[in-house]
Structure 1
Amino acid sequence: MAEEMKVIVFTLAHEEYGIEVDKVRTIERMVPITRVPKTPAFVKGVINLRGVVIPVIDLRGRFGLVESEYTENSRIIIVAANDLEVGFIVDSANDVIDVMSDAIENPPEVVGGIKAKYISGVAKISESRLLILLHLAEVLNRSEIIQLEQFGD
């Protein structure tokens, strides 16, 4: 029996991606980001969200894609992984959809220039629409989480 999974759909460089709804805390418009020295280039800094300091990562930079100017459609998706809240900057966050587990296939080696380790699967939504599902544990791998946790204290 195929299970249904709710997924937040967002775009990066004209590709559609998904993160499971239960991993997403909130989706915010772009706010001023305070730069933090000695962090990887894709770590844009931290934001103060309702009194909580949250590190922010530009997913384009994380995936080795060309970073672009932020627009009024740009969003920060706040996700929770391993007791850590992190903001992902994305080009836009579009909608929430249901994905059936039997529509998800294992990822190929590279999708849209992104290494397979960052992808948990590819969901076939329709004949012409594929959704790349993020593997949050890899997007925020151990050594980077340790670096980011220092900002949360």
Structure 2
Amino acid sequence: MPYELITFQVSGQLFGIDIMAVREIRAWSPVTRLPHVPKYVAGVVNLRGAVLPVLDLSVRLGWDAMEATPRNPIIVAEHEGQSRGLIVHGVNDIVSIDEDTIQQPDAAAQDGISHFLKGVAPMEEDMVMVLDLQKLMMDEEMDIAA
């Protein structure tokens, strides 16, 4: 069964999320920092009158923070009624993969990020790491920012 993903780059790695969870892709806008939130919460932005928490996806995955610039898009994703902005290095494409090709990642080989993955799927000459939005967005501390 086909599974459509939007693919993007974070710290030189190729990731994807279910296209049905993506509400929009917006240009970078400066975030307002908040006190007492996890380090991966870059801040919040105004999204048509609503406060949108914005995550530095690189930090959320356990890597170094990215120095966001106007070239960094923000992917607005929604899961179970909760919207979050995801700062990424760049958006690549919308791709269709066969759901049967998604394989469980080797926990040791994924630099500690396997907890956030639904799996890994081959895509032409690359491998795309398919993110699990439920696990990515779950955090009681982050609800302070929402």
Query: Shorter-chain TM-score: what band?
Result: over 0.9
Counterpart of 2:25, as a letter, is: I
Alignment of 1:26-45 (within 5 A): 26-45=24-43
- Kindly report the root-mean-square deviation, in angstroms, between the aligned alpha carbons of the 2 structures: 1.5
Aligned residue identity for 1:30? W
Change (3 A) 1:139 1:107: same
2:142 aligns with 148
Q: CA deviation at 1:103?
A: 1.8
- Amino acid in structure 2 at the alignment position of 1:136: L
**2:51 aligned with 1:53:** yes
Structure 1 outlier segments of 4+, above 3 Å? 146-152
Q: Bigger CA drift: 79-88 or 102-111? A: 102-111
The one-letter code of the counterpart of 1:123 is: A
User: Partner amino acid for 1:67?
Assistant: A
SS at match of 1:80: strand
Deviations 1:68-117 (A, max 9, x none): 32244311111111211001111111111111112211111045424211
CA contact (8 A) 2:119 2:130 kept: yes
Structure 1 gap segments, 5+ residues each = none
The answer as to whether partners of 1:10 and 1:91 remain within 8 angstroms in 2 is yes
1:130 is aligned to 127
Change (3 A) 1:73 1:94: farther
Distance 1:114 1:8, change over 3 A: farther
1:72 and 1:116 map into 2 onto residues whose CA distance is 29
Structure showing the higher strand proportion among its residues: 1
How much identity, in percent, do the aligned residues show?
A: 29
Please give the TM-score of this superposition, normalised by the length of structure 1.
0.88
Aligned residues: 146
Deviation (angstroms), 1:48? 0.2
Partners of 1:58 and 1:111 in 2: how far apart? 22
Structure 1 residue 76 and structure 2 residue 74: aligned?
Answer: yes
- Cα 1:111–1:59, aligned 2, differ >3 Å: closer, same or farther? farther
Amino acid at match of 1:130: M
Give unmatched runs, 5+ long, in structure 2.
none
Contact 2:8/2:16 (<8 A) preserved? yes
